[in-house]
Structure 1
């Protein structure tokens, strides 16, 4: 964090040294595996405007063979040394991966064409991956693309892999788990409907707002991270896997699928390639503990399902599998190693699930359970079960919430005061000086968790209290230095930076790209528009708009009444105005009615009826601030 970052205190140095002593740092097997099959490296990706998408030199401070610096957890440092290895790799004969910014692009070199499994975050990454493969391996056509699940870092680069027209014509198969409608719903809706909040939180968790270095972002644990200026695209699947045991033949080879919904993503599947005895469990098996609840914000997942489908994978293919390739990090080779890996990952999620609910049934609250549950050494000391994406503490709380909801069972917490009001009352009761003194004492003794909590009251009661903010920043910073989980590190260090410098007005992440929005079906687009309606402003509004999308031949009626926006796929005779145009123009007006005039003038859009109804509609909408406050009210 530049000049404002401070050195690790002796308490942090001691905490990280103690952590290093717990880890089996002499186990170097992963370092050989991560280099296995290297064909070609790359260290930079640029977009067509010449902007840097990925620059591996920003991770040059992470040097192989060096011990962790005092301000970085030794386990995170070790994982970071592994995931900054970027390049094209041969996994086994006919199976290749490009490992880059975060997600992998996997290519199956089948006899009659290429099958691409997952497409990275953006077209720039995927284009680089395909160039490397074609330069060093072969130039066969892509005959199929398979999405393993509904997250954007696995479909975002698809338009660098295949032409949309070839998918629409059926010349290229594009396969996804779940029905096409379901896949679209979850792939597009998750990243757009709550995209503003998710992007702001993701900017913390994925360290998008802090510089790389030993006092800032290290890596994202499952990849280097740090990518920006990339273009996310989307093509809807034209083929669906909705049942385990379904097979498809691509390029002359058979692919068998295990349908695994409600796991790491709402729609997800495992893939078995019998010709090469290779399996991927998508993101249900990784070189990390995964998230049951993502800190960026997504639907809570089912830990029991992780375990259930991993075990089913072992039953179906465990006696034959020779390699597991994942959509992040590096593969696992050899039958015994793959089986041990999948069994341990299965038991990891099963243990979290079962022990959380065991303690919940004894009346413990989620925070108490999170402090109580510890992984047995047989699970917890495996490197691939460590906290490089999820973490045990927040995952235990997520299991509780998944099964029992957000209320912890304490009547005092069911109707709490809002945070700022709660903080003001604490400060009024205890006095600013007493809280400041207690926060200072806690920091001086290395009690950073308590310092953050007690000083939080001062910061939320008076966001202009510079002394309180600086003290809380100091505590957050030391907590960040001590974290094995990179998302926790990112959250704490970004919080410290914002307390010192204010919320950033540039940078960060954006999951709701314009292409993603346009790819949404109209019913989801109306949902997206509806969450921009300010209920109080719309309480007395009564308006009805007809919408004709002429390039997709759809007719809708949307109306706002009693503070609520609704829409139906039907034409109505009772509308006050009808707008007609291609989907892109219609979407533009739905989200920003002020653009209607220019679109009409340019001939792209027509409006029949009372044009003022669009002004009325616009008056009840609000924009979202992508940089809203997190560490202050």
Structure 2
């Protein structure tokens, strides 16, 4: 382990977590897949997966992709199969990685119908209404956009792209271009019929409250949006978000399964084909999510705290290593904490935690017990040398709260959280940790 002087001693490509992330990159390599006679799926064209459904006189796109140029590239591939006009766009939800590429579709047809659920874009509106500007900075950390390429492998469910400034910016319509806002909205469910394509859309909350399920009955294709991808789901985004109701999410996955589809298109990564394969995938996903939810609720009812449950609640043994539930994008421990706070709020039930000491006051008292801040600083250095990066970071926080050895402890903390990142398979967490380490060093170098 590094001790604050030799960051290059750790090669991120040599850790098991890094190797595991590299092993899934084929799932979002660029592919233009003809899924059925009338459905084409664009994987790896930017961050998200999006699709085209062909009718007898027109085409309907399901999601718009993340980056206009990459969506245009997918349209060029589509043109090898049909010259029918793209007449409508259906958003599975309002996240900008699913709406940011929509200008390319609008350039194809300025009169395109754009469909979304009635409360489309509610997450971005809530941030804007409350003036939560920190969400943008935290989003950049989670995405890893400020990191050099050698600190990023992928984002767990998509390639490590670097979009132009503002390309994935959030807004009430999910993107910076007002032309991308829905022109057609529905409440609950609706049937979209245009260009010889008939799609059934229905509200199906999960990763976002404005998530929908899209059903193409003619060829038994269901579009899940971001309620499913080939990773444990992001039940809580560390960039910060409103509570993603996990029970709703579980029930939404079960509604997708109830369609008994022959083909399942995910919001990221490659689709599934074959009724048996689709059902098996959805059964696994449902069982994994329900298990985490039910075990967390049981622990809450037993009086356990979030700190305890985050370490104790895990996937069942037969699902712990399942490739569909690898913690590449979402993280079980963070999900457990989100369920607790989303249902019971911030107070963990322990009376000691009702009005805890200020962190600086706690640090001062602990330092006095330990023999002074020098002792804590020495313990922090020893912890990292012994491979205890988390303990090192916690000790650094205590020493920094006291203003002792500020520069040395800041650099040591940066080394500790880099070490934590290298050993974490959850790409969003890796990105966040590496970015924070970089920001700490930059604050000193400035």
Please report the TM-score for the alignment, with normalisation by the length of structure 2. 0.89
Gapped regions of structure 2 (runs ≥ 5):
168-175
Q: 1:8 — aligned with what?
A: 10
SS in 1 for 2:241: coil
Shift of 1:494: 1.9
Structure 1 residue 73 and structure 2 residue 14: aligned?
no
Structure 1 residue 141 and structure 2 residue 61: aligned?
no
SS in 2 for 1:140: coil
After superposition, the Cα gap between the structure-2 partners of 1:259 and 1:294, relative to the gap in structure 1 and judged at 3 Å, is same
Could you tell me which of 207, 227, 232 is aligned with 2:162? 227
Q: 1:113 — aligned with what?
A: 58
Q: 2:173 — aligned with what?
A: none
Distance 1:77 1:139 in 2: 37
Could you tell me which of 276, 301, 306 is aligned with 1:336? 276
Q: 1:158 — aligned with what?
A: 102
Please report the TM-score for the alignment, with normalisation by the length of structure 1. 0.64
Distance 1:463 1:90 in 2: 61
After superposition, the Cα gap between the structure-2 partners of 1:130 and 1:464, relative to the gap in structure 1 and judged at 3 Å, is farther
Could you tell me which of 341, 344, 350 is aligned with 1:410? 350
Distance 1:306 1:163 in 2: 34
Shift of 1:189: 4.2
Q: 2:332 — aligned with what?
A: 392
SS in 2 for 1:499: helix
After superposition, the Cα gap between the structure-2 partners of 1:439 and 1:389, relative to the gap in structure 1 and judged at 3 Å, is same
Q: 2:226 — aligned with what?
A: 283
Could you tell me which of 462, 470, 474 is aligned with 2:415? 474
After superposition, the Cα gap between the structure-2 partners of 1:412 and 1:146, relative to the gap in structure 1 and judged at 3 Å, is same
Distance 1:350 1:198 in 2: 29
Give per-residue Cα distances to partners, 1:14-54, cap 9 Å, x unaligned: xxxxxxxxxxxxxxxxxxxxxxxxxxxxxxxxxxxxxxxxx
Q: 2:153 — aligned with what?
A: 218
Distance 1:458 1:183 in 2: 46
The correspondence of residues 340-379 of structure 1 with structure 2, limited to 5 A, is 340-379=280-319
Distance 1:93 1:300 in 2: 39
Contact 2:373 2:402 in 1 (8 A): no
Shift of 1:460: 3.4
Q: 1:322 — aligned with what?
A: 262
Gapped regions of structure 1 (runs ≥ 5):
13-67, 506-633
Give per-residue Cα distances to partners, 1:577-604, cap 9 Å, x unaligned: xxxxxxxxxxxxxxxxxxxxxxxxxxxx
Q: Which moved more, 1:274-283 or 1:355-364?
A: 274-283
After superposition, the Cα gap between the structure-2 partners of 1:420 and 1:487, relative to the gap in structure 1 and judged at 3 Å, is farther
Distance 2:144 2:422 in 1: 13
Q: Which moved more, 1:231-240 or 1:323-332?
A: 231-240
After superposition, the Cα gap between the structure-2 partners of 1:389 and 1:194, relative to the gap in structure 1 and judged at 3 Å, is farther
Shift of 1:70: 3.0
After superposition, the Cα gap between the structure-2 partners of 1:504 and 1:485, relative to the gap in structure 1 and judged at 3 Å, is farther
SS in 2 for 1:102: coil
Shift of 1:166: 4.5
Contact 1:443 1:451 in 2 (8 A): yes
Could you tell me which of 312, 335, 338 is aligned with 2:255? 312
The correspondence of residues 209-608 of structure 1 with structure 2, limited to 5 A, is 209-213=146-150, 216-229=151-164, 231=167, 232-234=176-178, 235-244=180-189, 246-261=190-205, 263-315=206-258, 317-318=259-260, 321-420=261-360, 422-427=362-367, 430=370, 431-462=372-403, 465-502=406-443
Greater relative contact order (Cα 8 A, min sep 6): structure 1 or 2?
Answer: 2
